[in-house]
Amino acid sequence: MLAGIDYFIVIAYIVGMLLLGLYFKKFVSSSEDYFLGGRSLPFWAIGMSIVVSDIGALDFVGVSGQAYRYGISVGNFDWVGSVPAMLLAAFIFIPYFWRGGMYTIPEYLGRRYNKSVRTIASATWILFFALDLGVLFWASAVLLNVLMGWPIWISIISTAGVVGLYTYFGGITAVIMTDVVQMVIMFIGGFALVFLSLDAVGGWENMVDKISTMGPEYRSHFDIIQPVDTKSPFPWTGILFGLTFVMSNAYMIGNQSIVQRCLTAKNEWHAKASMVFGSALKMFIPILVLFPGLMAVVVHPDLADGDQALPMMIKSILPPGLVGLMFAAFFAGLMSSVDSLLNSTATLFTKDIYEPFIKQDADDKHYLKVGQITTLVLLIMGVATAPISSDFPGIYVAIQTFMSYFQGPLFAILLLGIFWKRTTQWGGLSALVIGIGFAILLNVFKANFFTIEDPFLYISWWSFLLAFIINVTVSLVTKKHTDEELKGLVFSSKIITKNKS
């Protein structure tokens, strides 16, 4: 499928990323450098890194496929499903975490609630990230195998080698700065596909006219708000309650790989600005990933599987050279997801598991070494478990679904933890455990409870609500924390009206 120029672009991209990532090795001399980039990074790099980490190659294919099937309502995930949450994170949560000098979200939960809450939250993230690594390695290997003709094992080891080397040596600084380049490549490749596809369908108006006349199933393809009784997974109630109120906040405020980036900012303004800037960039993501899926409805109207929409558009629309660039964009999405998982998991393990439970009060070089060794171990585990993905084709979706069930209860305890000083450790712990259990129960019996195809948005909302109620109820009947224990951990208007400077 690739021409000579495409091969050159892809290989130049991979080698370039490796060299760029390794350059940042010289800035790592402490654990703070490794996990938080020495708290020295600018907002624009962090903002770009947040966006590119959030969108992977699998999302490119998946979202285009959903746009092909359901239309523009998929864009809600990057629009209303990101921007309000990123602004809330920027102005309320991130300043707290940044001022507290924290490394991880579970670290906050541990200080606010207790060690058990910290360990459960951290262990869940570690499990999720570790499982995801193998899946992502397999996905990148399949891409390399199909497009470059490389054998699967060579593909896995080359991806792991490139990403692993710069993440191992350069830590989060290498991760963020390579993400910047990856985002630029992703935007150039993505926009090239959008503009050429738009030309192929005769412009936007023409495309809308054609799709609207294709039959009743396409009637609401251009309605961003879907009714409650829609059969798609995106009714407006799910978008508002499940996505906007719960999942997006849980993701932007409670996801280690997102928040950790903001904590690398050189000062509080840069930490806030990184989220606001990221939210601006986020507005473009649906254009890149959703529009090609919509245009495929016109160009390839009879696809049996919507996930074929993007590959088919690349194959039929892009000329040599741009195919290589688009593939580099895919690869950029995968690499940015893998490097984020590696560094965030190493941070969670070192800070929330190793330091409190295995070896306290060691010198800083020791924790730096532990972080690097954890990165290496994760890399080996990811490579070893990658082939499992071929036996379970739905494993990526299953892992994402599992995480969506964790996020409702997690956001409930984060929200109450920061805004309500009466919340106690037992309220938080019981809300987290019962909330996750309830989400799993709803998922197992979803056919009995829900009428839409995939009710993950509703499950997030109801598990959040139950966790919220349990946290409040249990907190009211258990011993409250003292003001001394809560110092710097609960929201106070003083943080807004009286500043350090």
Q: Show Cβ contacts of residue 373 under 8 Å, excluding neighbours closer than 6 positions.
A: none
Per-residue binding letters, 207-236, with other proteins (x by CB under 8 A): ---------------xxxxxxxx-----xx
Separation CA 38–CA 228 (nearest Å): 48
- Name which of 3 and 280 has its Cβ closer to other proteins: 280
Q: Identify residues 235-264 at the interface with other proteins (CB under 8 A).
A: 235-238, 240-241, 244
Is residue 90 close enough to count as binding other proteins by CB under 8 A? yes
Q: How far apart are CA 47 and CA 285, in angstroms?
A: 13
Q: Closest CB to other proteins among 482 and 497? A: 497
Closer by beta carbon to other proteins, 99 or else 315: 99
Residue closer to other proteins by CB (options 13, 277) is 277
Percent of the chain that is helix, strand, coil (3-state, to 5): 80, 0, 20
Smallest CA-to-CA distance from 79 within 243, 211, 202 is with: 243
Question: Quick one: which of 293, 130, 142, 302 has its CA closest to 215?
Answer: 302
273 binds other proteins (CB under 8 A): yes
Task: Enumerate residues 63-82 that contact other proteins by CB under 8 A.
Answer: 72, 75, 79-80
Strand partners, 226: 235
Nearest to 411 by CA among 199, 295, 245, 227: 245
**DSSP characters for 190-208?**
HHHHHHHHHHHTT-HHHHH
For the bound state, the minimum distance from the C-beta of residue 225 to other proteins, rounded and expressed in Å, comes to 5
Euclidean distance between CA atoms 295 and 316, whole angstroms: 12
Give least dist CB 14 to other proteins, A. 34
- Is 205 a binding residue for other proteins by CB under 8 A? The answer is no
Nearer to other proteins, 223 or 485 (CB): 223
State the number of binding residues for other proteins (CB under 8 A): 52
- 248 or 407, CB closer to other proteins? 248
> How far is 102 from 352, CA to CA, in rounded Å?
11
- The nearer residue to other proteins, 10 or 290, going by C-beta atoms, is 290
The correct pick among 219, 451, 473, 476 for binding other proteins (CB under 8 A) is 451
Which parts of 471-500 interact with other proteins (CB under 8 A)? 495-497, 499-500
Binding flag, residue 381, other proteins (CB under 8 A):
no
User: b/e string for 318-355 if b means 16 or more Cβ within 10 A?
Assistant: beeebbbbbbbbbbbbbbbbbbbbbbbbbbbbbbbbbb
Give the side-chain half-sphere CA count within 13 A for 396: 19
Report, in Å, the least distance between residue 282 CB and other proteins: 9
Q: Where does this chain bind other proteins (CB under 8 A)?
A: 72, 75, 79-80, 83-84, 87-88, 90-91, 95, 222-229, 235-238, 240-241, 244, 267-273, 276-277, 279-280, 283, 442, 449-452, 455, 458, 462, 495-497, 499-501
